[in-house]
Structure 1
Amino acid sequence: MTTKPVVVYGASGYTGRLVCEYLREFGIPFLAAGRNSAKIKASMESNVPGIETADYEIAEVSHDVASLTELFRGASVVCNTVGPFSTYGPAVVEACLAAGAHYLDTTGEQDWLMTCDETYGAEFAAAGLLLSPGLAQMYTTGEIAAELCLEKPGLDTLDIAVFWGGSPTIASTRTILVNAATSRAHYLQQNAYVEFDPAQGLVPLVVPGQHELAMSLPWGGTSHPVWYKRDPRVANCKAQGGVFNAALMHGVPQIVGQALEATKDMGPEARNEALTATAAQIMNEMPPRENPRLNKSLDSVHASGPLGRAHCVIHGNQNYKQTGLLQAFAASWLLQQPPNKYGFASGCKAFGHRQLLGQLRAFGLVAEPVLTFQGN
């Protein structure tokens, strides 16, 4: 049991320590938790600026429902950064439900979002708790752009592109490979999930603000189609994304294809071990702290309807810092007032897209959105 109102589970990881950094800036006491207390201590002291002024404790915990439930008791919010979420998420969600804590995570695994919606959403709503997976730059900033477009009534189709500068972290690389091996990517068409063609490959996209085309992938389908599945305004939603580094993007399908071929006849446990080893060969060290001149982000949404169009572009920087800030602000909100919606809900549905945008703007992580409308 903890006396801290917020638990950051996976605090020693790249994203986890950024969540801790912003919790410190919001003045929120927190428990930094994970499977190795020595690693957490070293990570806090080496990678979280100003940590000596934070009100925090460290806890080591086994990854099982009983141990996590006991740890979460007394907390109001759990920020989960431990992926792959389809593998490790269920225990954390079930522990939050048992302990009576709101659940936030940073996932981009579409199958995990579907599980949260269909398996756990009703239970969280009945308990008066929020279940908000995917509260992260790659998904929430694009959702903010979509919501700005949808302020114009009569638009029912979202075409979303998400790009960022830099490379995935160790955990993200592993998640990408595991997710590609175990699940399919979907988009939303007339309120139904439709599977992307697995053989689609790279798709060139026009990116606002540059002449060069950028290469994109379905990137697991992303969170957006799941969030809009139950939104009466939206019938169609498709998202593509990638990194600005074209050479890296060209290598992703080849790496994923080789990994899938090599593990196709393995059982789940052996396959996960093999994919983890492959991920370590690709990315075996934490990326450096983000640089706003290098680590840029771009979220572009075209929204359309029978007689109208809207386009929103949000230029930003430091996508992992955006994620840390979004998590910390959501925790701050939940400690002071209820979310706008209980149960399964996206960040924008739980806290409001303009409120989230305001935080990103206040901390200098995104520019003023470029928003244009056409038609009636």
Structure 2
Amino acid sequence: MIYERCVNSGAARLGRLCLTHGMLDTPAFMPVGTYAAVKGVTPDELAALGAPIVLGNTFHLMLRPGAELIARHGGLHGFMGWHGPILTDSGGFQVWSLAANRHLTEDGAMFASPLDGSRRFLSPEGSIDVQRALNSDVVMCFDECTDYPVDKSVAAASMARSMRWAARCRTHHADSANALFGINQGSVFPDLRTESMDALTEIGFDGYAIGGVSVGEPWPEKASAIEAAITRAPVDAPRYLMGVGTPADLVLAVGYGVDMFDCVMPSRNARNGYLFTNAGAVKIKNAAYREDFRPLDAECGCPTCRGYSRAYLHHLFRCGEMLGARLNTLHNLWYYQSVMRRIRNAIAAERYDQFTRQFLAGPEGVGTRAAEFFGVATDCG
């Protein structure tokens, strides 16, 4: 893996990441394909929308269809028909989300499968083995994510365990040609975040992720955790903020120096009829759109906006037609990629601070409280 920083605009970074299955410009957003598919969208459509990389989930693919079967397809790329880069989560998030059905030890986590209740064990080494079978371009370390709120002593112990697991992942990954990212933890405590990043840097990884900031914490604490981690992250490696977020979240976090993002929001919101546009959010189920013959977003170049009216999308949603979910998803994913293109263009022009203020002051920034906590005024003057 090769990462090259090209331009800085303040702390915002324009870069290029070369992986086994291709190159991507950063900052970049990764659509989430948990089960080797972004719901309702083909790989060719994803490529046409501008997605440079997709995310799959180690834990769920380990359970179904199984890493061995995917390996017989030559890895996840051949299995799902996506030939660009793939990043796989380690399964560590399930250590948190399935807390009621797992037992955690220093060795790893014993889970009750959500499919059939069978007992399954996942360790740092086991997670790396599964991701090796998937042939992920970016392999993530197995880690533990804590609840919010959490006592600092609990967060500290959890973070320390994640750092020990990170060292085991680094050793087991050995000389693989694919990239390995460490995951920064420490909940909302800045000193734990810096301690964690220092530990990861000492171990040495190809990239550095910030985990555990999408579990319900308010923006002031999320912001301080991100800032603390970023200030200690190596400048010559990519930074990945896991599970974040709204378009405004992306714009603001790039201003801290984040390079990569993933989130289910564009696809999940699309299936629920919540659509992002340059003029603000559209809740397509609302009766106001029943006879609205305009495109969803006149400035958008996606297939949905080029071919269909708001009235038609409203009709599809009200009827429960799967085509509606597909068209909505195509639009939201296009929108997210368009935001990333605008972000990259603003950094290249060295006007990122101005872009951020304009974005937050406009209709796309409406509804976010993040601005005040990131110190960004929404009055463009």
Q: When the two structures are superposed, what TM-score results if normalisation uses the length of structure 1? A: 0.28
The structure with the largest alpha-carbon Rg is 2
Using CA pairs under 8 Å that are at least 6 residues apart, name the structure with larger relative contact order, 1 or 2: 1
